[in-house]
C-alpha cells in the first residue's frame, strides 16, 4: 500500500453479530487485522480503524426469540463479551465501533438516494437492482449461477416475482420486520434495514466515500462484500469503494469449519483456560491470514511454550540490562519484510524465534508488540 501524505490509512472490518460469544474464527480475523494496524502504525502510517457491531440482524433476533430475552439486552451482553475477549487478546481497540441500531436514519437516507437514482425499486420491500451496477460478481469472481447457488445455500435467495424482487440476485435495502422484531418508521413502510447497506453506510460515515482496506472473514466475500461494493459505488459514483479487500480464512476444528450449526466452536474463553492470552494470540497469528486452518490444542501448547521462553528471557533481561540497546537491524529487517510481504505472519513468528535465539531483547520486544499487542504473557 502506498501511503498518502498526512492522511491515515482507513480500515473497515466487518464486526460481529452479537448473539454468541466470540470463538476462534472471530478471534483469528480480528487478531490478524490488529497485526495489520499495528504494523502500519509501527512504520509511521497512522490507521483509522472502524469495526461495526451488527446488532440489527436476523440471527440475533432469532436467538433473542429462542431465549426469550430482549434483542437489545442480548446484543449488549454479547458485544461486551466480544470486546472483553479481544481486549484480553491484546488488541489496539478500533477507533470507532458503530452499532447498526444507532445508524438507522443514515441507512434510510442512503436507501432513499439509491431509490432516487434508480438503483433501487420498491415492491414488497425496497430492493437494490443489481442489473443497474456493472460488474456485480466481479469482486468474488463468481458467475451468475454460482452466486445463485450460494444464495440458495445460505437461505438468502428469496422469491422472484411481481410482488417480490425482479431478479434473483437483487437484495433488500429495507424490508418489513416480523411482529416480534424491532422496526423503524420510514417512507418505505415500517421495517428494518437489509444487511449489506448497514456496512456501506457505516464505512462511509466514519471513513469517507472511499476506503483503503476493507476486511472480514472470507465467508463475507459473497454476498455481503460484493453487495456492499455495488451499492456503495452506486451511491457515490466513485470507484473503487475499497482499494484493498482483505479476507481471512476459516478456522476448522476436527476437519470442519467451526460453526454454530455444527456445534464445534472453540470459544476464546475455553482456550484461555489452557494457555496465557499471549499464547492464544500468538497461535492465531502464526497462521497465514488467507488460508483455512485447523485449530489444534497441541498447536496452542507449542505457542504457550514459546511465550513462556519469551517471558523468562524478557524478565532476565530486565533484571540484568544496564542501558537500552537498539534492536538488531537484520532481525528487524527480516521481520518487517515478512509482514510487508502480504502480511506473512508465520514468517514474522519465525523472525521472533530467531530474535529469541540470538538473545536480542529489543528486537523481541518490538516484534512482540506487533504480533501479540498487549496480551499478557502469563
Ligand atoms: Zn459488513
Q: What is the 3-state secondary structure (H, E, C) of 296-350?
A: CHHHHHHHHHHHHHHHHHHHHHHHHCCCCCCCCHHHHHHHHHHHHCCCCHHHHHH
Q: How far apart are the C-alpha atoms of 241 and 197, rounded to whole Å?
A: 13
For the chain, what are the domain ranges?
Answer: 9-252, 297-371
27 within 8 A of 90, measured Cβ to Cβ = no
Strands 251-253 and 293-294, bridge-based pairing: parallel
17 within 8 A of 23, measured Cβ to Cβ = no
Distance 101 CA to ligand 1 centre (A): 14
Residue 263 has pLDDT above 90, yes or no: no
Strand order from edge to edge, sheet including 171-175? 120-122, 126-128, 171-175, 192-193
**Domain 297-371 -> CATH class:** mainly alpha
Distance 229 CA to ligand 1 centre (A): 11
Distance 66 CA to ligand 1 centre (A): 25
pLDDT tens-digit profile of 313-360?
A: 999 998 987 777 888 889 999 999 999 999 999 999 999 999 999 999
Distance 224 CA to ligand 1 centre (A): 7
Q: How far apart are the C-alpha atoms of 63 and 80, rounded to whole Å?
A: 17
Residue 171: all three cell numbers together: 437484495
Average pLDDT over residues 279-283: 98
Q: Any idea which fold 9-252 has?
A: Rossmann fold (3.40.50)
Residue 259 has pLDDT above 90, yes or no: no
The pLDDT value recorded for residue 367 is 98
Distance 171 CA to ligand 1 centre (A): 15
Q: Which residues contact 274 (CB under 8 A, 6 or more apart)?
A: 297, 300, 301, 304
Strand partners, 307: none
Distance 149 CA to ligand 1 centre (A): 21
**Greater model confidence, 263 or 209:** 209
Distance 53 CA to ligand 1 centre (A): 9
Residue 113 has pLDDT above 90, yes or no: yes
Distance 199 CA to ligand 1 centre (A): 5
Distance 348 CA to ligand 1 centre (A): 29
Q: Which of 343, 304, 373, 295 is nearest to 25 (CA)?
A: 295
Average pLDDT over residues 135-158: 96
286 within 8 A of 346, measured Cβ to Cβ = yes
Distance 225 CA to ligand 1 centre (A): 7
Chain Cα centroid distance, residue 89: 15
Amino acid at each position: 500500500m502506498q501511503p498518502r501524505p498526512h492522511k491515515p490509512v482507513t480500515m473497515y472490518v466487518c464486526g460481529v453479530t452479537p448473539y454468541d460469544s466470540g470463538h476462534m474464527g472471530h478471534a483469528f480475523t480480528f487478531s490478524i487485522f490488529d497485526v495489520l494496524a499495528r504494523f502500519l502504525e509501527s512504520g509511521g502510517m497512522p490507521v483509522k480503524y472502524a469495526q461495526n457491531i451488527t446488532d440489527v440482524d436476523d440471527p440475533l433476533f432469532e436467538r433473542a426469540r429462542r431465549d426469550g430475552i430482549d434483542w437489545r439486552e442480548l446484543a449488549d451482553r454479547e458485544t461486551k463479551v466480544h470486546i472483553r475477549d479481544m481486549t484480553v487478546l491484546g488488541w489496539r481497540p478500533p477507533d470507532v465501533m458503530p452499532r447498526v441500531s444507532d445508524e438507522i436514519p443514515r441507512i434510510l437516507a442512503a436507501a432513499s438516494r439509491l431509490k432516487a437514482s434508480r438503483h433501487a425499486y420498491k415492491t414488497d420491500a425496497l430492493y437494490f437492482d443489481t442489473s443497474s451496477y456493472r460488474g456485480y460478481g466481479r469482486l468474488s469472481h463468481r458467475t451468475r449461477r454460482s452466486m445463485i447457488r450460494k444464495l440458495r445455500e445460505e437461505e438468502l435467495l428469496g422469491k422472484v416475482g411481481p410482488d417480490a424482487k425482479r431478479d434473483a440476485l437483487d437484495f433488500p435495502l429495507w424490508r418489513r420486520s416480523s411482529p416480534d422484531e424491532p422496526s423503524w418508521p420510514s417512507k418505505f413502510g415500517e421495517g428494518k434495514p437489509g444487511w449489506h447497506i448497514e456496512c456501506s453506510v457505516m464505512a462511509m460515515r466514519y471513513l469517507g466515500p472511499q476506503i483503503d482496506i476493507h476486511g472480514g472473514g472470507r465467508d463475507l466475500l459473497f454476498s455481503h462484500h460484493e453487495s456492499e461494493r455495488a451499492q456503495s459505488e452506486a451511491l457515490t459514483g466513485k470507484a473503487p469503494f475499497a482499494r484493498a479487500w482483505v479476507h481471512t480464512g476459516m478456522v476448522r476444528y476436527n476437519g470442519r469449519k467451526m460453526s454454530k450449526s455444527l456445534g464445534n466452536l472453540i470459544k476464546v474463553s475455553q482456550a484461555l483456560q489452557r494457555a496465557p492470552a499471549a499464547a492464544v494470540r500468538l497461535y492465531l497469528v502464526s497462521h497465514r491470514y488467507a488460508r483455512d486452518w485447523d485449530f489444534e490444542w497441541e498447536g496452542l501448547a507449542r505457542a504457550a511454550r514459546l511465550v513462556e521462553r519469551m517471558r523468562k528471557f524478557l524478565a532476565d533481561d530486565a533484571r540484568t540490562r544496564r542501558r537500552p540497546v537498539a534492536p538488531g537491524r537484520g532481525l528487524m529487517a527480516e521481520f518487517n519484510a515478512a509482514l510487508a510481504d502480504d502480511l506473512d505472519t508465520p514468517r514474522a513468528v519465525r523472525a521472533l524465534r530467531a530474535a529469541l535465539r540470538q538473545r536480542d531483547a529489543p528486537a523481541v520486544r518490538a516484534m512482540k508488540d506487533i504480533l501479540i499487542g498487549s496480551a499478557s504473557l502469563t
